[in-house]
Structure 1
Amino acid sequence: MRLSRFLFIATAFGVPLAGTSSVFAHESWLEPLAYQVETQGDLTADLKNGEEFVGSTLGYFPNNIVRFDMIMGETAAPVEARPGNIPALETAAPAVDGLLVLVYQSTPSSLKYAEWEKFLAFAEHKDFKIAEAAHLAAGWPQQGFGEVYSRYIKSLVAVGNGEGTDMITGMETELVALTNPYSAAFDGTMQVQVLYKAQPRADAQVEIFRRTPEGEVDITLTRTNAEGVASIPVSPGSEYLLDAVVLRPYSGDRDAVWETLWAALTFKVPE
């Protein structure tokens, strides 16, 4: 597995990223039961957490949510459910055709590295070339240090004809689809822009999880260009999870030294 991260400390550093391992992977994503629905049809999506595009289904818990919205064009509506509800989203689709963008932002959570070697293995695996030196230069402990992480998740659902565009939603980091896989004009290449604080992330790595119609999952990597855009050839009938992560020093009031911001985007290419 591979999770891309952007590392900076004191001043911003660009970090090339590489590697794969299931040991450290913990993606979260929204997984609609159907990515194409009729107007006013059943709209259902699970909140998932796991690795290699396989994971546990999480319930709807308001205390874990900063925002959970459905956006179509200039219209936005909050997702509401009973605490603990599975699926996390269960409602009627809008009454008009268009591209529906599901947006989920979590509250921060924490983890701890009990062993320095595990952090080093993670940093090496992800090709964070200056992570060890930056950590030591900051005088941070080599055992029992924490990380705070947050999720910034989007999913694209076609309602009716599915025509429309994704948009910048204002999350601190996000993946913005510049092409619509459900559009009649789609040419088979998804273009997505990786943003951090509303600015494009040039040379950022994007991890691509593809689930085939037969249920097999393969994982590939790509990088963004100078405008923060990644071009990704996609296959009809396949479901995709795209993942990009920011790593930065933590400056809040929790017992942590690192903070990660995880952006994810899911969609399915029509057959």
Structure 2
Amino acid sequence: MRMFKKASVFLSFALVALPASGHEFWISPEAYQIDPGQSIRADLRVGQDFNGPAYSLIPRNVERFELLTQKSSIAIEGRAGDRPALDFVAPDPGLVIVVHETTNSALSYNEWEKFVTFVTHKAMDTALKDHVTRGIPQTGFRETYRRYAKSLISVGNAAGQDRAVGLRTEIVALANPYTDDVSAGLPVRVLLDGAPRFNAQVEVFAKAPDGSVTVTTQRTNDVGEATIAVQPDHHYLLDAVALEALPNDDPANGPVWHTLWASLTLAIPAEGS
């Protein structure tokens, strides 16, 4: 059996059967704020508009699954079929970062319109021109993709900060949503290979207490940062997608594109909580 870097089991979920273009992947905690000694329980979800089914763990293609405290890293071990995917007794008080990285999956484009819709929605500004310039046909080509998800959970006093955790792409919160004043917005930075991504689209899914979801987008500035307008007692999913041209222009020889999906989930506490 293939091993996690720090765990004895590797886990995944049924992504392959879903059309990846247009479907976000995120870590979905049952509670974003818990007390020390309680269990951190979270599902892995795939869907649209911050709604989607939870997937059980199965032995397939998970590269990394960790729980990071402000002082340590804990590999998440589990059994095939576990639901929720994460069920772990909370460590000492502080801000906890849950990290999940998949291995590569692939999909085929048999309709040009689907690729156009995807790259337009995700603001991949030069993708269509580059596709034509490379001489790739409009149908019958493949893309690989990989998901990089983080979630911020408050344990007790929630002290600490989010940080870059070494994912190829990730979204880093530059303020603590549970302890800092974010009334003027939550600043975030989008990274790719450790460097800030400027002019990257951040898609923001805001879920209100009644379950309704509002979706907005904005671009990062020249240092890869954006300020996200947030409201108390709301849950947030932030999503940023990067597209890479693979060193192959002939679909007969393999995939021609690779997408890297970064997501970050967090909550803004209710006023007075």
**What TM-score does the superposition give when structure 1 sets the normalisation length?**
0.87
Which residue is equivalent to 2:256? 257
Alpha-carbon distance in structure 2 between the residues aligned to 1:195 and 1:205: 12
Shift of 1:216: 0.4
Which residue is equivalent to 1:236? 232
Moved over 3 A (4+): 121-129, 251-254
Instruction: Summarize the Cα distance change of 1:142–1:232 in structure 2 as closer, same or farther, 3 Å threshold.
Output: same
Shift of 1:24: 4.6
Does the 8 Å CA contact 1:148/1:250 hold for their aligned counterparts? Answer: no
RMSD: 1.9
Which residue is equivalent to 1:104? 100
Which residue is equivalent to 2:61? 64
Which residue is equivalent to 2:80? 83
Does the alignment pair 1:267 with 2:266? yes
Shift of 1:124: 4.0
Q: Return the structure number with greater strand share.
A: 1
SS of residue in 2 equivalent to 1:132: helix
Q: How many positions carry a matched residue from both structures?
A: 248
Matches within 5 A, 1:146-225: 146-183=142-179, 185-188=180-183, 189-225=185-221
Which residue is equivalent to 2:5? none
Alpha-carbon distance in structure 2 between the residues aligned to 1:92 and 1:263: 26
**What TM-score does the superposition give when structure 2 sets the normalisation length?**
0.86
Pairing partner for 2:242 from 239, 246, 251: 246
Provide Cα deviations, 1:126-183, integer angstroms capped at 9, x if missing partner: 4444322211221222211011010000000000011110111111000011101111
> Which amino acid is the alignment partner of residue 267 of structure 1?
L
Does the 8 Å CA contact 2:122/2:241 hold for their aligned counterparts? Answer: no
Unmatched tracts of structure 2, length 5 or more: 1-18
Alpha-carbon distance in structure 2 between the residues aligned to 1:246 and 1:40: 38
Unmatched tracts of structure 1, length 5 or more: 1-21
Shift of 1:219: 0.2
Instruction: Summarize the Cα distance change of 1:129–1:203 in structure 2 as closer, same or farther, 3 Å threshold.
Output: closer
Shift of 1:23: 10
